[in-house]
Copies of this chain bind each other. A is one copy, B any other.
Amino acid sequence: MRIVDISLPISPSLPVWPGDPPVRIEKLSLISEGADANVSQISCGVHMGTHVDAPSHFIDSGLGVETLALEVLVGPTYVLDLIGVDVIDAGTLREAAIPDGVERILFKTRNSMYWAGGIQTFQEDFVAVDLSGAEWLVEKKIKLVGVDYLSVAPFDAGVPTHQTLLRHGVVIVEGLDLSSIEAGWYDLACLPLKIIASDGAPARAVLMSE
């Protein structure tokens, strides 16, 4: 079995959503200062890096991230190549060669090149799913959608896409690095931290293939 990491490296230089705090990593104890062990602590927004959105992110009465079904976060997943696309709308998805039976879909776009290039400033012009695209995903009974920048929705239109997906129970995975992944079928394991009643959680995500 081949396992490929599609998670972003977490460090203070990771770009974060404007207004969110930067990642901070501090040492609590150091062997070099006489301690038995090196021990670090981390402070970060729960929507930094590779992460999962909970319904409560955009729905005030929505459930927390610990309630998301593991059976959705783990399983067969299709990676769709949308490298030439600027907006993922219903037309784009209708015309894309998406196989029948897809329940989990990850969109590989030019966003992944930001990660491959090590760009450390937030990019507002990322490729995202607009409302029509979100409605298409709901209609097709997609259970999980993953994107390769920090939001599934366009920078200046966060609410419609998120609310449409989250109201229909679609699990949203954001901040994937798909730069090394070819289109096709894989087994996804996306495991977010089990933070109780949280609107989201950082995750590690991998794609497996035989």
A interface residues, Cβ below 8 angstroms from B: 1, 3, 5, 7-11, 19-21, 25, 28-29, 31-32, 36-47, 49-50, 56-58, 60, 66, 70-71, 74-75, 158-159, 162, 189, 191-200, 202-206, 208
Instruction: Say whether A193 contacts B10, CB under 8 Å.
Output: yes
The CA of A192 and the CA of B203, in the complex, are separated in Å by 8
> A9 and B43 in contact (CB under 8 A), knowing A204-B204, A206-B191?
no
Residue of B with least CB distance to A189: B189
What residues on B are CB-neighbors of A8 within 8 Å? 194
Q: How many identical chains are in the complex?
A: 2
Given contacts A37-B58, A191-B189, A198-B40, contact A20 B28 (CB under 8 A): yes
| Nearest B residue to A194, CB-CB | B7
Residues on B with C-beta less than 8 A from A206 are 70, 74, 191
> Would A32 and B60 count as touching, CB distance under 8 A?
yes
Complex: A45 Cα to B40 Cα, angstroms:
6
The CA of A60 and the CA of B27, in the complex, are separated in Å by: 13
What B residues does A203 contact at CB under 8 A?
A: 191, 193, 204
A45 and B37 contacting across the interface, CB-CB below 8 Å:
no
A51's nearest neighbour on chain B, judged by CB, is B193
Closest B residue to A47 by beta carbon equals B39
Q: Is the Cβ of B36 less than 8 Å from the Cβ of A41?
A: no
Rounded to whole angstroms, the CA-CA distance of A45 and B41 in the bound complex is: 4
Per the bound structure, the CA–CA distance linking A178 and B79 in Å amounts to 34
Interchain CB contact under 8 A, B40 and A42: no
A185 to chain B, nearest CB (A): 16
